[in-house]
Amino acid sequence: MGGRVTLQDVAAAAGVSIKTVSNVVNDFDRVAPETRLRVQGVIDDLGYRPNLSARQLRSGRTGVIALAVPDLAARYFAELATAVIAQARRHAMTVLIEVTDAERSAELAMARGLGSTLIDGVILSPLALSQSDLSGKPGRVPVVLLGERDYAHTFDHVLIDNVAAARDATAHLLATGRKRIAAIGAQSGPSSATAHLRLCGYREAVHTAGAPELAELVAPATHFSPPEGAAAMRRLLALPEPPDAVFCFSDMLALGALRAAHEAGVRVPQDVAVVGFDDTEEGRYGVPSLTSVSPDKPEIARQAVALLADRIESAGSQRKPVRTEVGYELVVRESSAPATETEGTL
């Protein structure tokens, strides 16, 4: 089993030429059924496995795609990665995961197709990239972007309607009778498409409801992490008139916020309702369980891999970039239940 078996070896053992074996392996049609059977037998016996390097060298393909995410430890991306790996398998592709640490340079490098030469394409989840970073020429390899607005139609692109989702989440809080809705996760600068879109949705909902939009209720966060969420929540709770609901731009922020509320002796959802974004498993099993916007991750993965695979197949053909929108859902759990109904739960 140890030493590599090559086409050469199989060919010798089967008494045919290398190319015939290659044809069998690749399921080409110009092979007589009986030959095919015999060769296949030898392949199985010897345990032949094609050398991907040689294959790529010849054909330009490796069957490996890269998934570039800001942070793998962020549950959302771990779940997304799992979904992408599963989808890639269905396309007979392997996934190489890159962690960009949300650094602009790293994301840019991936978008340009640098990184490993081994990859056929990239699925990139940009956090730090601005629109102008990507508007330029596409790089060496096919790229599919995830989760942002369409970057000047330069790349294929899978996203959810962040504005609508944020609006729905905020509207839900208003519908449960909350009046002072805060937002956690605002980010300034051009590099923060996601945060910006969610903030827009939040504002739209607040505006539609005729509620006052107070600058003091919009809390910034540099990272979408629990510590940032906790810090922001502490600031909000320290206000003279604290909010009675908080819409967090990610579940990690929300978990931090829950934590801060707990420490401050503020009850969730009785005193303040909390809604997150991403619907990660830790939110589902938090105490209280977290209401959250749930993007359809499997569908995102399916679309992204399909688009990338298509782009790879038809290399050269100049298909126009596609923008695919994927659904989401607001999953209501304890953290935003109307104050009256929840008393009994405890």
Partner DNA sequence: ATCTGCGTGTACAACGTTGTAATCTGCGAT
Partner DNA sequence: ATCGCAGATTACAACGTTGTACACGCAGAT
**Residues of this chain that bind a copy of itself (CB under 8 A):** 1-2, 4, 49-54, 56-57, 62-64, 71-73, 75, 78-79, 81-82, 85-86, 94-99, 112, 114-118, 137, 139-140, 226, 230, 255-256, 258-259, 262, 265, 281-282, 284-289, 346
Query: Among all chains, which residue has been given the structure tokens 């199985």?
Result: 44
Residue among 120 and 278 whose Cβ is closer to DNA: 120
Site residues for DNA, 29-88, by CB under 7 A, read 29-32, 34-35, 48, 50-51, 54-55, 57-59
Q: Which stretch binds DNA (CB under 7 A): 10-18, 156-164, 206-214, 308-316?
A: 10-18
Residue among 16 and 258 whose Cβ is closer to DNA: 16
Cα–Cα distances (Å) from 70 to 78, 125, 130, 160, 164, in that order, read 11, 7, 14, 18, 24
> Is residue 4 involved in binding DNA (CB under 7 A)?
yes
Q: Find which of a copy of itself, DNA, none residue 18 binds, CB within 5 to 8 Å per kind.
A: DNA
Cα–Cα distances (Å) from 281 to 75, 231, 249, 267, 278, in that order, read 8, 22, 16, 22, 9
Minimum CB separation of residue 12 from DNA in Å reads: 11
Name which position in 19, 140, 179, 207 contacts DNA (CB under 7 A): 19
Looking at the chain, list the stretches that DSSP marks H as alpha helix, in order from N- to C-terminal side. Answer: 7-14, 18-25, 33-46, 52-59, 75-90, 104-111, 131-135, 162-175, 193-208, 226-237, 251-263, 281-284, 297-313, 339-342
Sign of the Cα torsion 184, 258, 300, 316 reads positive
Q: Find which of a copy of itself, DNA, none residue 255 binds, CB within 5 to 8 Å per kind.
A: a copy of itself
- Indicate the residue type of 166: A
> Is residue 332 involved in binding DNA (CB under 7 A)?
no
Minimum CB separation of residue 113 from DNA in Å reads: 15
Minimum CB separation of residue 7 from a copy of itself in Å reads: 13
The site that binds DNA (CB under 7 A) totals a number of residues, namely 28
Residue among 229 and 242 whose Cβ is closer to a copy of itself: 229
Query: Among all chains, which residue has been given the structure tokens 């060919």?
Result: 11
Minimum CB separation of residue 179 from a copy of itself in Å reads: 25
- Backbone φ, ψ for residue 218 (5° rounding): -100, 110
Residue among 58 and 137 whose Cβ is closer to DNA: 58
Minimum CB separation of residue 91 from DNA in Å reads: 17
3-state secondary structure string, 48-96? Answer: CCCCHHHHHHHHCCCCEEEEEECCCCCHHHHHHHHHHHHHHHHCCCEEE
Distance CA 131, CA 302 (A): 24
Largest CA distance in the chain: 87
Minimum CB separation of residue 340 from a copy of itself in Å reads: 19
Minimum CB separation of residue 258 from a copy of itself in Å reads: 6
Distance CA 34, CA 336 (A): 67
CA angle 113, 116, 122 (to 5 degrees): 45
Q: Find which of DNA, a copy of itself, none residue 298 binds, CB within 5 to 8 Å per kind.
A: none
Name which position in 12, 18, 72, 200 contacts DNA (CB under 7 A): 18
Sign of the Cα torsion 269, 273, 274, 275 reads positive
| Token output for 200 | 């827009």
> Is residue 16 involved in binding DNA (CB under 7 A)?
yes
> Is residue 22 involved in binding DNA (CB under 7 A)?
yes
Q: Taking the CB of residue 93, how many other CB atoms lie within 10 A of it? A: 22
Task: State the residues that interact with DNA by CB under 7 A.
Answer: 4, 6-8, 15-20, 22-23, 25-26, 29-32, 34-35, 48, 50-51, 54-55, 57-59
